[in-house]
Amino acid sequence: MRCLIAIIAVSCLAHAAGCNGRSRDNSTAPINTARRLLNEQRQEQRAELERLDELIRNNPDDPALYVQRGFLWIEREDYFSAEDQFDLALRIERQHPGALCGAAVVTFYTKNDLELLEHLAKTRTPQYAPVHYWLGRARQSAGEYDDAIEAYGKAIELNPTYAEAYRARGSTAIEQSAAIEQSAELQQESDDAAGALADFRQAIFFDPQMAVAYTNSGDVLMDQDEVERALRSYARAISIEPADPYAYSRRGRALAAMEKYRDAARDYALAQELAERTDRWEVIAAMNFDRGVALFHVGDHYEAMRVLSSEIESDPLNADARCYHADCLMEIWGRAWEAKGEYSEAIRLYEQAKRDDDPEYDESMHARALYGRARAHEEAGSSRAAKRDRSEANRVDSDYADEDR
């Protein structure tokens, strides 16, 4: 269904540094690229539906074809069209397991009702692997991770080559691990990550064109500081599904970790455009901070401020976002006073996190904020206050040097 396309390189997005701390990007490049990629994706989807239409015209009594078309509509979140297809299949074969499963999935998505899926899994079609897979999907979306993993495991037991069940089980393990906050359970988190990576590899083995499995693998590798391997996984995902905004946002994160900020900013720009055009707002929300940091490092301070302001609006307690927002203000003439206030709020949040033994507390960022406020004091002529902040920064993190900024 999906055509293999060479990796959509960031080279198609011209990005040239401008003056006064602002870059002069070709702002139409990500727009044009996103439009082209989404048009190609829609053409592939239409071709798939047309292929099924032709098969159904030639084989109108084959319920499996209606079921296949029904699940395509579910992928598009058109549940009423999907329900019509499953009804047509059930008119041909009243006990068709795929049609029964599809009808139960529609019931879950439209009425948030698990009862029919549970009934099929336990009583009516217990040997049909997709029923257990979809029950796992429902459990996962409800945050019932252990039950979801059990359901995916049952699907794999019934069909050991069920690639998507492996991938889903791996993603559930990662979600469950992310929900664990107690430091005493860090070893369990590590075990979950290793198991998830193994599941993603199995998914890729049975379906080498499953782009999301490569993206999921990249996420695990990033958490294990295997940045170059993660980058390769994201690049492979993009080569298979070049219109997926999440894959670009994650590749941007990997590039930024390698301090390739200009390349990262280009990936983030394309991810932003693709996400806006497909209503993938969760992708934008998740990458706002990282995108803002990349933009700061390439000197696009105004755009970085806009993105970071959005992040602060959604998460006022994000001290790192406030610190980088203040860094941007410091690069703009006449705004040091605003920067000092933003640094002060970031420092207050860092101090609170330190008192609370917050595992997310970052002493180097705390020192960065103190050094930043020292600069703001200096611009205001308050050398004594600046000296005090530099001394405090050195106490917080003696390894942090002001020139590291």
Residue with tokens 């949040």: 349
pLDDT band at 354 (very low <50, low <70, confident <90, very high): very high
Q: pLDDT digit string (tens) for 106-148? A: 999 999 888 999 999 999 999 999 999 999 999 999 999 999 9
Q: pLDDT digit string (tens) for 139-180? A: 999 999 999 999 999 999 999 999 999 999 999 999 988 776
The pTM of this model reads 0.84
CATH number, span 316-405? 1.25.40
Handedness of CA 247, 253, 258, 262 (dihedral sign): positive
**Does residue 14 register a pLDDT over 50?**
no
Q: pLDDT digit string (tens) for 382-397? A: 999 999 999 999 999 8
Element (H, E) at 2: none
pLDDT of residue 41: 86
Structure tokens, 176: 């469950």
Mean pLDDT of 52-68: 94
**Does residue 250 register a pLDDT over 70?**
yes
Q: pLDDT digit string (tens) for 327-341? A: 999 998 888 999 999
pLDDT of residue 385: 93
End-to-end CA distance of the chain: 48
**Does residue 8 register a pLDDT over 90?**
no
257-262 — which CB contacts under 8 Å span 24+ positions? 257/222, 257/227, 258/227, 258/228, 258/231, 259/297, 261/293, 261/294, 261/297, 261/298, 262/15, 262/298
**Does residue 369 register a pLDDT over 60?**
yes
- Determine which of 26-30, 81-85, 182-186, 200-204 has the lowest per-residue pLDDT on average: 182-186
pLDDT of residue 399: 82
